[in-house]
Amino acid sequence: MDRALAVIPARGGSKRIPRKNIKDFRGKPLIVYSIQAALDCGLFGRVIVSTDDDEIAAVARQYGAEVPFVRPKELADDFTSTASVIDHAVEYFENLGESYDFVCTIYATAPFIRGEFIRKGYELLKDSDAVNAFSCATMPFPIQRTFRIDGQGRAEMFHPECFFSRSQDLEEAFQDAGQFYWTCRSRQKQHQDAVMFSSVSIPVIIPRYLVQDIDTPEDWKRAELMFDAIQRADG
């Protein structure tokens, strides 16, 4: 059995931030941070980018990733699941006679990703009977005190019974960090109906200052400011 496989999904059709995956982020195409973290952690037999886009493929190869195939059009629209993209990549190598029991999905839009946490996820998963291990972070505020804005523009709490509760008395909640998702394929076959955020998965807690979704221009600006602050702190 070969070493683990890293798959970085990166289609070319980003709409809210055009060409997001390869847009310059503080001196590098955004996807490069994910490629370099995967290469640096030293776990993978292959680090591949699954894309339908020639320019993304060229950038990926330039920075050391493999692009062994062009992702089919039917797996490159707005409704394609990540799981389908990963299955396609794994099956591609199986048809070549290569078998990977541990597969890591790494998002292309994670400039704060670090190889040490990818490795931690692998070690936790390998030494357990879990199916998955994924990156997460603590919520910055108690979710029990969140509210919606109703049709009349007024506030309505999701959990009004918690209004008078002290923050420290409320249970801590966590959120998906959107960086990496390890899966043990052999164990997955025994839990085919289980979802990632369930008892078959091990959360790998990432410091909150290293977590930022990048879906909108506002997210992008916040990520740049966070990146600059971390660079200054690291000296």
The answer as to whether 145 is a domain residue is: no
The answer as to whether 218 is a domain residue is: yes
Which amino acid is residue 161, in one-letter code?
E
Query: Comparing C-alpha atoms, which of 230, 195, 196, 197 is closest to residue 211?
Result: 230
Q: How confident is the model at residue 1 (pLDDT cuts 50, 70, 90)?
A: very low
| Cα–Cα distances in angstroms (integers) from residue 77 to residues 20, 176, 190, in the given order | 15, 23, 29
Tokens at 115, concatenated: 């190889």
Share of the chain above pLDDT 90, in %: 94
The answer as to whether 120 is a domain residue is: yes
The answer as to whether 165 is a domain residue is: no
- Whether pLDDT at 30 is above 60: yes
Q: Give the integer Cα–Cα distance in Å for 29 and 58.
A: 11
Domain span holding position 74: 4-138+172-234
Three-class secondary structure of residue 66 per DSSP = strand
The answer as to whether 151 is a domain residue is: no
Mean pLDDT of 146-153: 97
Q: What is the CATH number of the domain that holds 184?
A: 3.90.550.10
Q: How confident is the model at residue 165 (pLDDT cuts 50, 70, 90)?
A: very high
**Based on the structure, what is the number of domains in the chain?**
1
| Cα–Cα distances in angstroms (integers) from residue 213 to residues 110, 113, 202, 208, 227, in the given order | 8, 12, 21, 11, 13
Instruction: Say what the pLDDT of residue 131 is.
Output: 98
Tokens at 119, concatenated: 């490795």
- Report which secondary-structure segment, H or E, holds 62: helix 54-62
Instruction: Say what the pLDDT of residue 13 is.
Output: 81
Share of the chain above pLDDT 70, in %: 99
Mean pLDDT of 108-120: 97
Q: What's the whole-number average pLDDT of the chain? A: 96
Phi/psi zone of residue 153: left (φ > 0), alpha (ψ -120 to 50 degrees), beta?
left
The answer as to whether 116 is a domain residue is: yes
Burial of 161 (0-12, 13-18, 19+ CB in 10 A): exposed
Q: Give the integer Cα–Cα distance in Å for 137 and 92.
A: 33
The answer as to whether 224 is a domain residue is: yes
pLDDT per residue as tens digits for the range 167-209: 999 999 999 999 999 999 999 999 988 899 999 999 999 999 9
Tokens at 78, concatenated: 């707005």
pLDDT per residue as tens digits for the range 96-105: 999 999 999 9
Query: Comparing C-alpha atoms, which of 96, 71, 7, 83 is closest to residue 45?
Result: 7
The answer as to whether 214 is a domain residue is: yes
Task: Return the number of other C-beta atoms located less than 10 Å from residue 172's C-beta.
Answer: 10
Phi/psi zone of residue 69: left (φ > 0), alpha (ψ -120 to 50 degrees), beta?
beta
Instruction: Say what the pLDDT of residue 2 is.
Output: 60
Q: How confident is the model at residue 150 (pLDDT cuts 50, 70, 90)?
A: very high
Kindly provide the residue ranges of all beta strands, DSSP E only, lying in 159-228, ordered along the sequence. 174-184, 201-205
pLDDT per residue as tens digits for the range 60-80: 999 999 999 999 999 998 889
**Cα-Cα end-to-end distance for the chain:** 42
Mean pLDDT of 139-149: 96
